[in-house]
Structure formats: structure tokens, C-alpha cells
Amino acid sequence: GRQKEYVRAKLSEEKAGSIFRQRKMDVEPVFRFLKANLRFTRFSVRGKSKVENEMGIALMAVNLRKYTANKDQLTKNNGEKWKRENLSWLKFSFFLS
């Protein structure tokens, strides 16, 4: 009832709409890749630190895929040698300790 109306009103605001549009481009493809390509639908371990490590490994796989795709694109499209500074976009979400 009232809660649904509140959520619907909040989501219809322009600011919320832009945030959710951005989320679709930034976040959802990562989850789709994890689930569809890596078959990563649930954790195989228990405990916060173990789950963080497992998620870190999964996200590292996603980042490595981006890394290799961008490396290939740089050498094909630009004809230039692949340089370390061209990969400033690569940000690892998790680091394993």
C-alpha cells in the first residue's frame, strides 16, 4: 500500500532515474557475465573473509576479461603498441591479501 506508493514516487524522480540508468550500464553486465559465463550463482564457502576472497577471484576474472579485450582493441584499432598508461581504466574491486 503506502510503502509501494512511496517507492514508486521515489523511483519516478529524475535523479533516481538517472542513478538506475547508470546502474544498468555499470553493474548489471558484471552480474550477467558472472552468472551466465562463469556460472557463478552462489558462493561455495562460508564465512565473511572466505566469501570476500571468492568474490574477489570472480571479480578478478571479470577484470581480466576487460583487460584482454581492451588490450586487443588498442592494438587493432590504434595500431599502436599497448602501453601501461592506456590501462588506467582498469580498477580491481577487490584485492586478495
Do residues 73 and 46 both lie within one domain?
yes
pLDDT of 44 > 90? The answer is yes
CB–CB of 92/59 below 8 Å?
A: yes
User: How far is CA 34 from its chain centroid?
Assistant: 9
- Say what the pLDDT of residue 79 is: 54
- Tell me what the pLDDT averaged over the chain comes to: 78
Sign of torsion, CA 75 79 84 90?
A: negative
Compute the average pLDDT of residues 40-57.
95
Helices 48-78/28-36 angle, 10° precision: 100
Please check whether residues 74 and 28 belong to one and the same domain.
no
Which long-range contacts does 29-32 make (Cβ < 8 Å, 24+ apart)? 30/59, 30/62
* One domain, residues 68 and 46: yes
Domain count, the chain: 2
The predicted pLDDT at position 42 comes to: 94
Q: Could you tell me if 6 and 33 lie in one domain?
A: yes
Is there a single domain that holds both residue 27 and residue 56? no
Set of cell numbers at residue 73 = 582493441
Structural domain range at position 63: 42-96
